[in-house]
Structure 1
Amino acid sequence: MLIDYHTHHVRCGHASGELEEYVKRGIEIGLTQLGLSDHMPLLHVNPQTYWPEMAMPMEELPRYVEECLHLKDKYKDQIDIRVGLEGDYIEGYESEIEAIIKAYPWDYVIGSVHFLGEWDISDFRQIAGWEGKDIYAVYTQYYEAVKKAARTGLYDYLGHLDMIKRFGYVPDRDTWELEKAALDTVKECGLAIELNASGLRHPCKEMFPSRRMLEYCHKVGIPVTLGSDAHLPERVAQYLDEARSLLKMIGFNEIATFHARNRQLVTF
């Protein structure tokens, strides 16, 4: 069972390659399932005046879903396509997010925290946002947002759970209590998480989440799925061999898959 549930494409503005290129790459490397999961359109900032190339325009969303469904059918004898959305959690916009989620036949919706207010902490162009800030306070704000995302009931799993570490900003004290509280909330809400391998190509040089968070997931029974967060077709499944090996070392023998918003655990 080889899966990759986290991919992006040209519509989002900061990825390259058409959806079909990702599908063909998935077939080429022998994936069992490929999840197409582009970013939800921006809701809380004006895409015309905010940083460019952040997410697909709202008018592209139905076209995205239509193309995903077309490719799912076209390649059904070669690969199992799952139609997904990375539904950025924006505090105060829960009803708008819910409307998008309910409008389309998703197989799964990833809950990801990228924004703290109007600051996208995942955007390399916005690193200056860290200047003058108490790093631990930013981590605290981030994990509070993660917990709020989990409690909405909107998502099937949470993506790149400790992505706040992406650019290498580390507090001067341990963050385990923040991480544990977020994971406990994930468990209480019955969600899964994602092991997102893309951290290996970012300054943090570590997958999202960390090994200690994954070990806690295994201890308390939080299911895990896999994603490369590919923004180029050639990066589909990048580092997922390492991700699977890490899960095996920790003791996982099942991964979470999703169909029509239902979770199934499969041996890998």
Structure 2
Amino acid sequence: MTMRWSYHTHTTWSDGEATPAAMLAEAGRTGLAEIGFSDHLTLHPSFPSVNWSLAEDELGPYVGEVLALAAAAPPSGPAVRLGLEADYVPASVGRLRTLLAAHPFDYVIGSVHFVGDFPVDAEASRWEALSPGRRDETWAAYWRAVAEMAGTRLFDIAGHLDLPKKFGHRPSADLTAARDAALDALAVAGMTIELNTSGWSYPAAEAYPAPAILRSARERDIPVVVTADAHRPAHLSRDFDRASRCLREAGYDSVVRFRGRRWSAEPL
């Protein structure tokens, strides 16, 4: 089947290039049945104000705009889902828990963009400045953070697993045990993962996660949703057909959709 919903999207509320209304219009034009908005929320004490994230006091207005679009959406057009991409930052888990409980999200994507104060996907030069050993340590810490994130039970979807490969810097050591521990934690937490097609557009030249990780997730019966990580309307369903083939090759025969923080499976 062709994916007819797109949940990982960013608008001008965070680091996207179009308004929610413009993204919704494109979703209707291209025949999507659902669009979910998932603007960034980053609560990091070392980065109190960043231009890629909603400010904390903008969360309420963002939610209000998305809910208004959902209420006004005609039955013949795409349904609108309220989502969020929230960073896992250990020091901010309590604040995040309170904020998430205050709003009727359909799903929350949990992402690890930081290992400590190191932003894993900001600039290639940061990785190039690390020795091979430090790169491996950063990768190992990333997988530990994913496992910790799962343990909070705050999130529904694990965002772009293996994100540190974005600029082509893969570990030189065998980190299979750390990776599998993270997948085990996601399975125990009942989380889903995304097959995020944006990785094909970066030097990594590979969707998130890699095929081997996708197969390991399938072995653990971890559900999956296909996402585009769209920051502009034209990207809402980029490479979805290619993603479907990858899922079948990994052994998946279904994908999930969300409403009210519950998922249901749909056949591929």
Query: Same fold judged by TM-score > 0.5?
Result: yes
Q: Distance in 2 between matches of 1:137 and 1:41?
A: 23
Alignment of 1:156-171 (within 5 A): 156-171=156-171
- How do 1:1-268 and structure 2 match up within 5 A? 2-12=4-14, 14-48=15-49, 52-77=50-75, 78-124=77-123, 127-128=125-126, 131-133=129-131, 134-268=134-268
Aligned alpha-carbon RMSD (Å): 1.6
Q: SS state of the match for residue 98, structure 1? A: helix
- State TM-score, norm by structure 2: 0.93
> CA offset at residue 68 of structure 1?
0.5
TM-score by length of 1: 0.93
Distance 1:123 1:76 in 2: 39
Alpha-carbon distance between aligned partners in 1 of 2:55 and 2:194, rounded to the nearest angstrom: 26
SS in 2 for 1:11: coil
Distance (whole Å) between structure 1 residues aligned to residue 257 and residue 216 of structure 2: 20
Residue deviations 1:50-84 (CA, integer Å, cap 9, x gap): xx522122221111101101111222420111110
How far apart are the structure 1 equivalents of 2:202 and 2:127? Answer: 18
**Residue type matched to 1:266 in 2?**
E
Deviation, 1:248, is: 2.1
Paired residue secondary structure (2:13): helix
Contact 2:164 2:170 in 1 (8 A): no
CA contact (8 A) 1:192 1:223 kept: yes
2:120 counterpart letter in structure 1 = I
Q: How far has the Cα of 1:190 moved from its partner?
A: 1.4
Using the TM superposition, give the Cα deviation of residue 46 of structure 1 relative to its aligned residue in structure 2, in angstroms: 4.5
Distance 2:100 2:242 in 1: 32
User: For this pair of structures, how many residues does the alignment match?
Assistant: 263
Deviations 1:18-59 (A, max 9, x none): 0111111111111122111001143423444xxx52212222
Once residues 157 and 68 of structure 1 are traced to their aligned partners in structure 2, the CA distance between those partners, rounded to angstroms, is 19
1:45 and 1:118 in contact (8 A); partners too: yes
SS at 2:28's partner residue? helix
Q: Which moved more, 1:197-206 or 1:240-249?
A: 240-249
Query: Which ranges of structure 2 fall in alignment gaps of 5 or more residues?
Result: none
Q: Which runs of 4+ in 1 moved over 6 A?
A: none
Deviations 1:226-265 (A, max 9, x none): 1100111111111112111211232322111111111211
For the 8 Å contact 1:197–1:240, the answer to whether it is kept is: yes
3-state DSSP of counterpart to 2:208: coil
Unmatched 5+ stretches in structure 1 = none
Q: Percent identity?
A: 31
